[in-house]
Structure 1
Amino acid sequence: MKYYLAVDLGASKTRIAVCSKDTIVEKTVEITPKQGDEYTIARFIWETVRKRFPTYIENIEAVGVASIGPLDIKKGIAVNPTNLPFKEIKLLEPLTTYFGTRVLVANDAVAAAWGEKNYGLGKPFKNIVYLTLSTGVGAGVIVDNHLLIGKEGNAHEVGHIIIDFNSELECGCGGRGHWEAFAGGINIPRVAKLLASKHKISSELFEFLLKHPEATAKDVFEYCRRGDRLGMLVVDLYVKASRAGIASIINTYDPELLVLGGGVFLNNQDILFEKIVSGLENDVVTSMPVIKPTAFGDDVGLYGALALAANPPRELLEVQGV
């Protein structure tokens, strides 16, 4: 039997799965390496597969990689990824050498959009946006059944939509007022500290952040649930920023379906989904799309990577010359 290898490379975790043509057979979730050279991640993927799935290696038909961005799509390289400390992460060339078969690399959200189109909520639709609200903010876009790639593979970096050109908040890319600066999970504790200092807010969350520099978005949302004033203010700003970003997406791409995913959203959709969607129609010049959370949960990137490997999009095949 032939199998496909799906890799979802994230800033915090890397998910790797052996799959049939339409579902996950076995998977593992590993901590993404934070030190090394441009080949560290590829070696880590290869060694993980050898360790976890040795019996499948000779029967792997193709490999799909859903990667953190931005990408040099032609070379299959992640370049200066915002939330990982590498100048380059070489993927396409070393993984092709290791596995000796076809490898396709795309941005993780782009892959997820393709996964939704092939296996998920996007099957009946020609115009789809998949939006990830996670460590960063990104999207994958399908217009008239065409997966959008762009000259360098970055025709989807919606996290860098400027939603406040007067903002003091600096994005990981160095720009100011970007959506990701407000809503990227890695930035949320920093937003909380800035708001507390600017508005002289005293709260349990602020005291916690001062004592715990390693605090995460999870902590901020937990304090919001407790009714902490600062936590509620941060989440309110998150919602407003995301509503503005999503309205921009709808106005730009005119999708029939917008699928929401990403760890920050999926772990907090009980307090985010209705607030983000409510009132969106007031900022949209076209008709509203269907908006739903992904049904794949944390595995959406793996299904995206599987779709790249098992049913490769023509647009990506042309770019990567496979």
Structure 2
Amino acid sequence: MAAYAGIDLGASYVRAVVGDETGDELGKYKRETPQGPTGIAVTDAVLETLKDACGDAGVEPSALEAVGMGTIGPLNLAEGEIENPANLPDTIDRIPLTGPISNLAETEDVHLHNDAIAGVIGERFHSERNPDDMVYLTISTGIGAGIACDGHILSGWDGNAGEVGHMTLDTEGTMDCGCGQDGHWEAYASGQNIPRYAREYYEAGDWETDMPIMDADFTAPDLFEYAGEDEFADTFIDRLARFNAMGVANIVQAYAPLIIYIGGGVAENNPELVVDKIRQQLPDMVFGNIPEIKITTLGDDVVLKGALASAMTEGTGDREKLRG
């Protein structure tokens, strides 16, 4: 029996799964992501998690045919590592991954992707149509996309293709993004920045609201809870929908996907207020064919299942490349 592994490295948790040649799960493991003191501690946690998943599956790491991995970024594919991860402490400047995983599994067949690219591989593999042209978009703490175009998974020379959250959607640059630039999609509509933008928009107008919008602990979920009950909340949610539809329209014009799967906490927890509103506004923004817009079919496991699918299909999600 052939065995494959997928790894999901996030800012909070490391998860690993081992599956057989059909993708059926044999074993898995999860642990917290170390917050330092250096990137080597994170590397060690990844290796230990993979070992523990193999132990749960009754498989030696050296018996793995291939390993796929979806991770936070930014990536340096040439070195097989993460460089200066945005969501981990500043003491972590680099996290070696491909080399150490290859040594543990005794295989050169290790596929490293950012998390959104792993997401599109997973959605492609598990889609009934196994489409060549599709997108996985995550609207969560940040915003990013994985893109399959003409059957190719787009990674870019450094592994960081699909950073669509850093598209400039506001030429006035009202809000600054966490990356340091102004006017980016993520600065307005990501889970991390929605409360900040809501306060900015509230203070710039003449609004009344029952929401505790100026409280330091006001969050994106708090905003959506007031939908249908608060005029400012409804107006602001519509404004977010405009930014989201603009961003999706740009993706459609650039890559012409047949289908876009949308995941991430902001979208998955508020499908009617996020995904449905994108569907409604998209026809007014797109010149050409409108893709099908759907909520992710894989939920919180989209990156992990995408990483496993990557290992099984040479980094593509194309079922015609299945091994075994």
When normalised by structure 2's length, the TM-score is: 0.86
Q: What does residue 315 of structure 2 align with?
A: 313
- The equivalent residue for 1:135 is 141
Shift of the 122–138 alpha-carbon distance from structure 1 to 2, 3 Å rule, reads farther
Q: TM-score, normalised by structure 1?
A: 0.86
Task: State the AA in 2 paired with 1:25.
Answer: L
Verify the 8 A CA contact 1:11 1:135 in the aligned structure 2. no
Once residues 127 and 230 of structure 2 are traced to their aligned partners in structure 1, the CA distance between those partners, rounded to angstroms, is: 37
Structure with a larger share of its residues in helix: 1
The 1:37–1:229 alpha-carbon spacing in structure 2 relative to 1, beyond 3 Å, is farther
Give 1:105-144 correspondences, 5 Å limit.
105-121=112-128, 123=130, 125-144=131-150
Identical residues among aligned pairs (%): 37
Q: C-alpha distance in 2, partners of 1:267/1:195?
A: 23
When residues 16 and 167 of structure 1 are mapped into structure 2, their CA distance, relative to the original with a 3 A threshold, is: same
Confirm or deny that 1:152 pairs with 2:158. yes
Q: SS in structure 1 opposite 2:192?
A: helix
Aligned mates of 1:196, 1:223 — CA distance in 2: 15
Alpha-carbon separation, structure 1, partners of 2:70 and 2:174: 32
The reply to whether residue 185 of structure 1 matches residue 187 of structure 2 is no
Count the aligned residue pairs: 310
Deviations 1:199-224 (A, max 9, x none): 364544335x5252xx5433332333
Distance in 2 (alpha carbons) for counterparts of 1:46 and 1:301 = 18
Partner residue, 1:20: 20
Give the unaligned 5+ runs of structure 1. Answer: 316-322
Give 1:107's aligned amino acid.
N
Question: Do 2:30 and 2:49's aligned partners in 1 also have CA atoms closer than 8 Å?
Answer: no
Whole-angstrom CA distance in 2 between matches of 1:260 and 1:94: 32
Alignment of 1:79-94 (within 5 A): 79-85=83-89, 86-94=92-100
Find the aligned partners of 2:27 and 2:207 in 1 and give their Cα distance: 48
Where does the alignment leave 5 or more consecutive residues of structure 2 unmatched? Answer: 318-324
SS in 1 for 2:294: strand
One-letter code aligned to 2:59: Y
- Which of 203, 212, 215 is 1:210 aligned to? 215
Cα gap change, 1:196 to 1:206, in 2 (>3 Å): farther
Q: Look up the match of 2:272.
A: 270
Q: Is the alpha carbon distance of 1:179 and 1:24 closer, same or farther for their aligned partners in structure 2, counting shifts above 3 Å?
A: farther
Can you list the C-alpha shifts for 1:92-141, whole angstroms capped at 9, x where unaligned?
12222333333211111112212222222551x22111111122111111
Partner of 1:8: 8
Amino acid at match of 1:155: A
Any conservation in 1 of the 2:120–2:136 contact (CA below 8 Å)? yes
Identify the residue that residue 76 of structure 2 maps to in structure 1: 72
- For residue 185 of structure 1, give the secondary structure of its aligned residue in structure 2: coil
Q: Which 10-residue stretch deviates more, 149-158 or 86-95? A: 86-95
Q: Secondary structure at the match of 1:33?
A: coil
CA 1:174–1:295: 2 relative to 1, 3 Å: same
Q: Does the Cα contact within 8 Å between 2:68 and 2:112 map onto a contact in 1?
A: yes
